[in-house]
């Protein structure tokens, strides 16, 4: 019996069941059980993520259940993981990635009236939309995906992950996916991440069977970028990597001020075998192009 720890939200359970089905297909006869876990991010649903610890608030208790031996594997949304693995755990599989784009629900961006309200719990989304449309007003938004869909402001919109809508087969009347060229996604957005204990060779081998190299390389580049920038959910940071037609790995990284008045975007490419080097290189470009001063000013205010 392989025990999979997961958050208990509808989307998290979908993701855990998806990983379970991949594992069962890779090893017929394998028995898999889900172990739902409540996290700090779930318990403090009414507080902005960056105020309760930022990146990591949805994964700590799930990881601890594996480290304590109550589960064998932890299943996460890869975007929720800090860029450096927790001690004692290994990121053993990145099995698949959905649509990484953000999406507006309730109205198209071009159809929002001047001063319209957009609800989002993400500093990154808010900063980029404020840069594109300085006239917009913003309010905080938390809760699971179905709860958020019920909080579309009158005459306004909310911002959600496109992959969440697709995985849960939700179809609001008005949805506009925002191209990654327009709005840089969160690092590792739409990817699934599977961790297990270091030294658990049997589980590591089992998870290797569902690891997807075409997902791992871009996600590792994005995570390396975030690690080098030193940001999380408390700062407007984004990164999106993809494989080019000639087999290279391309990464665009973003750092913005919270009000969206300053946005630094830089990109580079490397061989697909060098995702960490690519992430560090793009971070250096961003930092050297005004990002370092931007970080200093934002952290000085906090």
Measured from the Cβ of residue 205, the count of other Cβ atoms closer than 10 Å reads 10
List of residues 6+ apart from 109 with CB closer than 8 A: 129, 132, 133, 157, 176, 178
Burial 153-187 (b: 16+ CB within 10 A, else e): beebbbbbbbbbbebeebeeeebbebebeebbbbb
- Within 10 angstroms of residue 204's Cβ, the number of other Cβ atoms is 15
CB-count exposure of residue 29 (10 Å: 0-12, 13-18, 19+): exposed
Alpha helix segments (H runs only) across 37-80? 40-43, 60-67
Helix axes 201-208, 10-26, angle to 10 degrees: 90
185 near 241, Cβ under 8 Å? Answer: no
The percent of the chain in helix, strand and coil, each rounded to the nearest 5, is: 35, 25, 40
Q: Is 99 a catalytic residue?
A: no
From the candidates 42, 72, 80, 288, which is the catalytic residue?
80
Q: With contact defined as beta carbons under 8 Å apart, do 211 and 78 qualify?
A: no
Token digits of residue 70 = 């109550």
CA distance 291 to 132: 19
Please identify every residue annotated as catalytic: 80
């Amino acid at each position: 019996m392989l025990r999979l720890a997961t958050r208990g939200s509808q989307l998290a359970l979908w993701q855990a069941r998806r990983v379970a089905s991949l594992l069962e297909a890779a090893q017929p006869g394998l028995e898999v059980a889900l172990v739902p876990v409540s996290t700090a991010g779930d318990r403090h649903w009414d507080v902005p993520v960056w105020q309760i610890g930022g990146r990591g608030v949805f994964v700590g208790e799930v990881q601890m259940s594996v480290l304590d031996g109550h589960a064998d594997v932890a299943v996460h949304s890869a975007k929720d993981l800090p860029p450096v693995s927790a001690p004692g755990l290994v990121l053993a599989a990145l099995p698949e990635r959905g649509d990484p784009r953000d999406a507006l629900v309730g109205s198209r961006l071009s159809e929002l009236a001047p001063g319209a309200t957009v609800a989002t719990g993400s500093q990154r989304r808010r900063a980029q939309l404020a840069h594109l449309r300085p006239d917009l007003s913003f309010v905080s938004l938390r809760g699971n995906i179905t709860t958020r869909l019920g909080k579309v402001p009158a005459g306004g919109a909310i911002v959600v992950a496109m992959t969440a809508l697709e995985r849960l087969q939700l179809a609001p009347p008005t949805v506009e996916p925002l191209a990654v060229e327009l709005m840089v996604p969160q690092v590792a957005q739409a990817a699934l991440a599977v961790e297990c204990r270091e030294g658990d060779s049997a589980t590591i081998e089992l998870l290797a069977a569902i690891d997807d190299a075409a997902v791992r390389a871009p996600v590792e580049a994005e995570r390396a970028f975030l690690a080098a920038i030193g940001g999380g959910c408390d700062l407007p940071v984004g990164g999106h990597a993809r494989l080019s037609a000639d087999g290279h790995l391309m990464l665009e990284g973003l750092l913005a001020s919270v009000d969206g008045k300053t946005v630094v975007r830089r990109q580079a490419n490397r061989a697909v075998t060098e995702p960490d080097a690519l992430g560090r290189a793009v971070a250096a470009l961003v930092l050297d192009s005004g990002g370092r001063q931007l970080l200093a000013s934002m952290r000085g205010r906090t």
